[in-house]
Chains A and B, each alone.
Chain A
Amino acid sequence: MPENTIIRILSVLLVMGVVGFVSFPLMVSRLKKKGVEEAAARKQAMLRAKTHSVVAAFLYMVFMVSLVSLFL
């Protein structure tokens, strides 16, 4: 596999990881403020963080494709 390909794969995984790890504690604290119990809040926050990371991967890939097209 060419280097560019590996870099692209890693960049997608990185974006997903960063968004997921940032989103999780934010969601937990938000749900706790709403009165959700700790365990339930963590469970719900995990699912939402995963959803956010998948949406972020979608937006990132579309954004990068359009960005490259704009500047090259």
Chain B
Amino acid sequence: MRPTQDDIPIGLDNKHHTVAFMTEIPAKILCNLPSWLYNARNDDYRPIRHDGEVEPMKIMYGMLVALTPAALWSVYAFGPAALIRIVAGIVAAVAAEAIFQKLTRQKVTATDGSAAITGMLLGMAVSISTPWYAVSVSAVFGIVFGKQLLGGVGKNLFNPAMFGRLFYLFVFPDSILPWRRPFDLVTTATPLEILRETGEAAGVPILDMFLGRIPGTIGEISTLALLIGFSYLVYRKFVRWRIPAAAFSVVLVLAIIAGHNPLFYFFAGSLMLGACFMATDPMTSPRYPKGQVIFGIGIGAIIMAMRWWGWQTPGVYEFTEGTTFAVLTMNLTTPWLNRKFKPVRAAK
């Protein structure tokens, strides 16, 4: 008797196997979404590692929830174009991870949330003028070369979202411009460009910056939405709070020394998004408190230096923000900081 399709084991039928693979990932995401959201808010479910820290996978799901207010605000402010870019980042990142792991015969872990968070962060870290394919290509680069090449989650040196963003800044520099204001999408200068041109931290109402009525990258505009998400992460103890605290302290001190309004520096640019959501990546930030403080100080100092004296070539590279460079540079120091500040108790 001739065997039917159902009699053939999945591993032996290439066509069946490919179809199963193509439908497996989206189906897993859809099926697991309710439990991810539930687990992210359910304290009793929070798994604690032997060193007392929350398991990284749970942090990723928590991060997805925490980023939702800023993502929703960006869609409200910029329209469906913002959603397209965020979704393009998530789909490209998850697909790149799944395909890479499949090709290299590793266990496919694309549904663990880490690739999705990379894609979401990248989609939120681009300008609304950026074409969707630039986000997708950058997400693929960040996942493949920033993460999977070195062995995947926990073995990566750089934050994959930031690595993808550096690639985006280098490869698609002209796609960043023009900056557009939320709601009416009028071309206008960002607060940091005004700072660079006038030398004064003024000219934009602080309330507009706080609420998210200023031009900027998709996810960075609303400080209020980012703070709501960050508060959730702090409440759930999902975040290494010393890193943003140290970064904000440095920014505060340097702004006061310069005689500027510190709130301008807090609310402008991607400091809030970078320091609260990207620098605190558990895989690429220092594990121990002293290391985290130094890590945060370095990020704050580099960001302020870039804002004041950073690179700017009209028409080619126009960067008035240095969060990407700051986080990636400090990522390089993480292995050293972990060795240097390892507590004696942990060493035993």
Chain A interfacial positions (CB closer than 8 Å to B): 1, 5, 8-9, 12, 16, 47, 50-51, 53-55, 57-58, 61-62, 64-66, 68-69, 72
CB B285 to nearest CB in A, in angstroms, measures 17
Chain A residues within 8 Å of B149, by CB? 50, 53-54
Contacts of A53 in B (CB 8 A): 149
Q: How far is the CA of A8 from the CA of B317 in the complex (A)?
A: 13
Q: For chain A, what secondary structure do more than half of its interface residues adopt (helix, strand, loop), or is it mixed?
A: helix
- CB pair B313–A50 under 8 Å, yes or no, is no
Is the pair B313, A69 in contact by a Cβ cutoff of 8 Å? Answer: yes
| CA gap between A5 and B134 in the complex, in Å | 10
Within the complex, the shortest CB–CB distance from A1 to chain B, in Å, comes to 7
Cβ proximity bits B169-185 to A, threshold 8 Å, 1 near / 0 not:
11110000000000000
Within 8 A of A (CB), among B135-175: 137, 141, 145-146, 149-151, 157-158, 163, 166-167, 169-172
Of A9, A47, A58, most buried by chain B (CB within 10 Å of CB) is A58
- The answer to the question of B187 belonging to the interface, with a C-beta cut-off of 8 Å to chain A, is no
Decide: A54 and B171 in contact? CB cutoff 8 A: no
* B234: interface (CB < 8 Å): no
User: Chain B residues near A12 (CB, 8 Å)?
Assistant: 141, 167, 170-171
In the assembled complex, the CB of B197 is this many whole angstroms from the nearest CB of chain A, namely: 17
Q: Give the chain A neighbours of B21 by CB distance below 8 A.
A: none
Is there contact, CB below 8 Å, between B150 and A54? yes
A61 proximity list for chain B (CB < 8 A) = 166-167, 169-170
With an 8 A cutoff between CB atoms, is B332 at the interface? yes
CB of B170 within 8 A of CB of A54, answer no
Q: Chain A: which residue is nearest B155 at the CB level?
A: A47
A5-B172, A55-B157, A58-B158 given; A68·B167 CB < 8 A: no
- Of B145, B150, B317, which one neighbours A68 at CB under 8 angstroms? B317
Q: Is the interface of B mostly helix, strand, loop or mixed?
A: helix
Interface size in chain B (residues, C-beta < 8 A): 26
The number of residue pairs between A and B whose CB atoms lie closer than 8 Å in the complex comes to 58
Interchain nearest-CB distance for B269 vs A (Å): 17
Q: How far is the CA of A55 from the CA of B332 in the complex (A)?
A: 8
* Highest count of chain A CB atoms <10 Å: which of B151, B170, B312, B332: B170
Q: Does B275 contact A (CB under 8 A)?
A: no
With a cutoff of 8 Å between Cβ atoms, the chain A residues found around residue B151 in the complex are 47
Q: Which of A1, A16, A53, A61 has the most CB of B within 10 A?
A: A61
Q: Across the A-B interface, give the 5 residue pairs with the lowest CB-CB distance, nearest first.
A: A69-B311, A61-B170, A8-B171, A69-B313, A72-B313
User: Nearest residue in B to A64 (C-beta to C-beta)?
Assistant: B170
What residues of B have a CB within 8 angstroms of the CB of A68 in the complex? Answer: 313, 316-317
Q: How far is the CA of A8 from the CA of B173 in the complex (A)?
A: 11
Q: Are B166 and A58 in contact (CB under 8 A)?
A: yes
Chain B nearest CB, measured from A58 CB (Å): 6
Asked if A9 contacts B158 (CB within 8 A), the reply is no
The verdict on B133 contacting chain A, using a C-beta distance below 8 Å, is yes
| A51-B172 contact, Cβ under 8 Å, with A57-B145, A61-B167, A69-B312 | no
Most buried by A among B149, B157, B332: B149
Shortest CB distance B106–A (Å): 15
* Contact, CB under 8 Å: A58 / B328: yes
- Report whether A16 and B325 are in contact in the complex, using a CB–CB cutoff of 8 Å: no
Q: A8 — which chain B residues lie within 8 A by C-beta?
A: 170-171
Chain A CB within 8 A of B232 CB: no
